Structure 1
Amino acid sequence: MKKIGFIPLRKNSKGIPNKNKRKMVGRPLFTWVLGEAIFSNLDEVFIYTDDQGIIDFINKEYHWTNKVKALLRSSESATDTATTETAMLEFCDKIDYNFDAFCLLQATSPFTTRGDINTCLEKLTEDYDSALTVVNTHRFLWNTEGEALNYNPKNRPRRQDFEGLLVENGAVYAVTKQALQANKNRLGDKIAIVKMDEDSLLEIDSESDWIAVEQLLINRQQCAKKSAEITHVVLDVDGVFTDGTITYTKDGEHTKGFDMRDGMGLEILRQFNVKVMIMTSENSELVARRMEKLKIENVYLGVKDKYSLLQNIIIEENISISNVAYLGDDVNDLTNICSVGWSLVPNNATDVVKANADVVLSKNSGAGAIREACQFIMTYNKRF
């Protein structure tokens, strides 16, 4: 059974400008669900958008997987009045319904996990032609006439005794090709429900919503941390190896300063069988040369979605994210910092990163921070 994911994105957003591309915990919002879709049981994942910038981003960023594709949607299917089904059916016609199962994923649902996606897909192998995600809410509902809808106000139940209601959270919808063709709708006639956490009911329609969702995501990532031996260290470059500044010559060339003691620290760390990797958003020849000098083989340049790439590395290396230590300094490192076994940041890192790191080093970037981090990791690993 060929299973495809479909993530519709529009260039314009009414409530929050550029919402889909805005960084949520340091990552573009839409990459939260895209990353989970990549590592789910979907065979292909399509981004369908009228934003050429997003298409260029997809083509450049996800070269390490063959599952992700981006297609340009028509302006007619991206208007304020166009329904999601309009975009779905337009897309299906473009690919000639070349799938057996279709999974609609909403970019504004960053709490979606690969497990939620897989569970919805599994329902299609049972006696259902479609599935959707819901949240069990324990809110007491009323209508405008002052009438209670889901409980007796004169016999108010305790929360733990109250079944509540199942509410659609708009995160995941799965449907068979036959049901989609017959109903022209994301849902068929025999619908399964898949429960998600109550946090996923939050909608991102305002700045206050954004702040709340971002903090919940940070908490979720941090709560999943576990103690384990550090076998891999991943480092950013600018603001970690260097002090974050670039010096330009009169000819336009630029230079970066590296601390020799940091290089020695990494060399010693590797002698203790800790694998060192570099992950930076810069695509710099200077960085490539420095890492070659340090004999660091795993160097990833020009990376914007660092968390998804880290997830791929974890699978390839057959390790847990708890086996990873991460050194970063700015907001684009934030998701990794909140997620890995140990996160360490230089003393001059940005405030938001320092507030969420496990360890704030006493040394500044480019001035011994990496060497200090290496010593911390070696000391920590002694317990294993």
Structure 2
Amino acid sequence: MKKIGFIPLRKGSKGIPNKNKRKMVGRPLFTWVLGEAIFSNLDEVYIYTDDQDLIDFVKKEYYWTPKVKAILRSEASATDTASTEFAILEFSDKLNYNFDVFCLLQATSPFTQRDNINDCLNKLTEGYDSALTVVNTHRFLWNENGTPINYNPKSRPRRQDFEGMLVENGAVYTITKEALKNNKNRLGDKIAVVKMAEDSLLEIDTESDWIAVESLLMERQKREKKSDRITHVVLDVDGVFTDGTITYTKEGEHTKNFDMRDGMGLEILRQFNVQVMVMTSEDSALVAKRMNKLKIEHVFLGVKDKFTLLNKIIIDQGITLSNIAYVGDDVNDLTNICSVGWSLAPNNATDIVKQNADIVLSKNSGAGAIREASQFIMNYNKRF
């Protein structure tokens, strides 16, 4: 049974410009749901967009998985007035309905997790032809004419005694091919509901919404953190190995300064069976050469979605996020900082990273911060 995911994206956004590509906790907004879709039970995940830059980004960023594909959508399907169903049916025709199960995922629902997707997929094996995610809200609802919808105001129930109502949160929809073809709609005739956390009801339409959702996502990631023996340390480069500055020559080449003490710290860590990895958004031959000199085998250059790649690494290595220490300094490290077992930031890191890191080091980047982090890891691992 072939199960495909579908994430429709448009260039335009009236409320928040470039919303889908804007960084939410340091990652492009759409990558929150894409990353979870990659590690779900979906067989393929399609980005359907009118933005060629975004297509190029997807092809470059997710080269490591054949599961993700990006297709250019028509202008007609990307207008303000075009319905999502229009895009779904146009896309399905392009694929000649070469799937058994279709899963619509909304990029503006960053709270979606792989379990939510899998739960909706599983409902289709239980006799339902479609499923959607909902939130159980305990709000008291009213009509405009002043009449209550879901409770008796003269006998106001306590929250714990109030069943509330299920509200569609617009995050995940699954449907069989047959039901999609017959109904020409994201939902069929026999519909199952899958509950998600109440936070997922928030919509991102204004700057205030963005701030609220970003704060809730960071808190969720930190709430799910667990600490175990550190088996892997992952480091950013600029602002961690270096002081974050670059020197250019008249020929255009540049230099970076590295602290020799940091290299010694990493060498000692490896002697204690802690694997060292480097993950940076820069694709620099100079960095590659330095990491080769330090004998660091796992070096990932040009990474923009660091959290999804980190999830691939833990699966490949047979570990969990609780086994990882991460050292980063800027906003593109933020999701990893909020998620791993131990996160550390140089003393001169950006304020947002220092506010969310577990440890703020006394040393600056490029001036012994990695050596200090290495010592912390060695001391911490002694308890195991």
TM range (shorter): over 0.9
Question: 1:31 corresponds to which letter in structure 2?
Answer: T
Opposite residue 114 of structure 2, the aligned amino acid is R
Question: In the alignment, which residue of structure 2 is the partner of 1:342?
Answer: 342
Within-5 A mapping of 1:31-110 = 31-110=31-110
Q: Is 131-140 or 248-257 further displaced after alignment?
A: 248-257
Secondary structure of the residue that 1:212 maps to in structure 2? helix
State the partner residue of 1:311.
Answer: 311
In the alignment, the residues of structure 2 paired with residue 232 and residue 63 of structure 1 have an alpha-carbon distance, to the nearest angstrom, of 23
Structure 1 residues 255-294: Cα deviation after superposition (integer angstroms, max 9, x where no partner): 0000000000000000000000000000000000000000
Find runs of 4+ consecutive structure 1 residues off by over 3 angstroms.
none
Q: Deviations over 1:315-339 (max 9, x none)?
A: 0000010000000000000000000
Give the Å deviation of 1:11: 0.3
Q: Quote the offset at 1:156 in angstroms.
A: 0.4
Percent of residue pairs identical: 81
Deviation at 1:206, TM superposition (A): 0.5
Give CA deviations for 1:93-115 in whole Å, capped at 9, x if unaligned: 00110000000000000000000
User: Aligned pairs, how many?
Assistant: 384
Could you tell me which amino acid in structure 2 is paired with residue 251 of structure 1? E
Question: What CA distance in whole angstroms lies between the structure 2 residues aligned with 1:295 and 1:289?
Answer: 10
After superposition, the C-alpha distances for 1:50-82 in whole angstroms (9 at most, x for unaligned) are 011110100000011110000000000000000
Q: 1:320 and 1:147 mapped to 2: Cα distance?
A: 51
Structure 2, unmatched stretches of 5+, are none
Aligned counterparts of 1:359 and 1:207: Cα–Cα separation in 2: 30
Asked whether 1:235 is paired with 2:231, we answer no
- Relative to the length of structure 1, the TM-score reads 1.00
Q: Tell me how large the CA RMSD over aligned residues is.
A: 0.4
Q: Partner of 2:252: helix, strand, or coil?
A: coil
Query: Separation in 2 of the partners of 1:235 and 1:192?
Result: 44
Pairing of 1:224-263 with structure 2 (within 5 A) = 224-263=224-263
Distance 1:370 1:280 in 2: 15
**2:199 paired residue number:** 199
* Partner Cα distance (2:99, 2:298) in 1: 36
> What residue in structure 2 maps to residue 155 of structure 1?
155
CA distance in 1, matches of 2:328, 2:379: 20
Paired residue for 1:269? 269
Q: Which position in structure 2 is the counterpart of 1:112?
A: 112
SS of alignment partner, residue 121 of structure 1:
helix
Q: Could you say which residue in structure 1 is the equivalent of 2:288?
A: 288
**Amino acid in structure 1 at the alignment position of 2:145:** E
Q: Report SS of the residue matched to 1:221.
A: helix
CA distance in structure 2 between the aligned counterparts of 1:153 and 1:211, rounded to whole angstroms: 34
Aligned-pair CA distance for 1:126: 1.1
Shift of 1:185: 0.3
1:172-194 Cα offsets, whole Å, 9 max, x none, are 00000000000000000000000
Q: CA deviation at 1:249?
A: 1.1
CA distance in 1, matches of 2:374, 2:214: 30
Q: Distance in 1 between matches of 2:127 and 2:289?
A: 57
Q: Deviations over 1:117-168 (max 9, x none)?
A: 0000001111100000000000000011000000000000000000000000
Q: Give the Cα separation in 2 of the matches to 1:333 and 1:226.
A: 18
Secondary structure of residue in 2 paired with 1:188: coil
CA separation in 2, counterparts of 1:230 and 1:216? 27
What's the offset of the Cα at 1:227?
1.9
In structure 2, what residue type is equivalent to 1:174? T
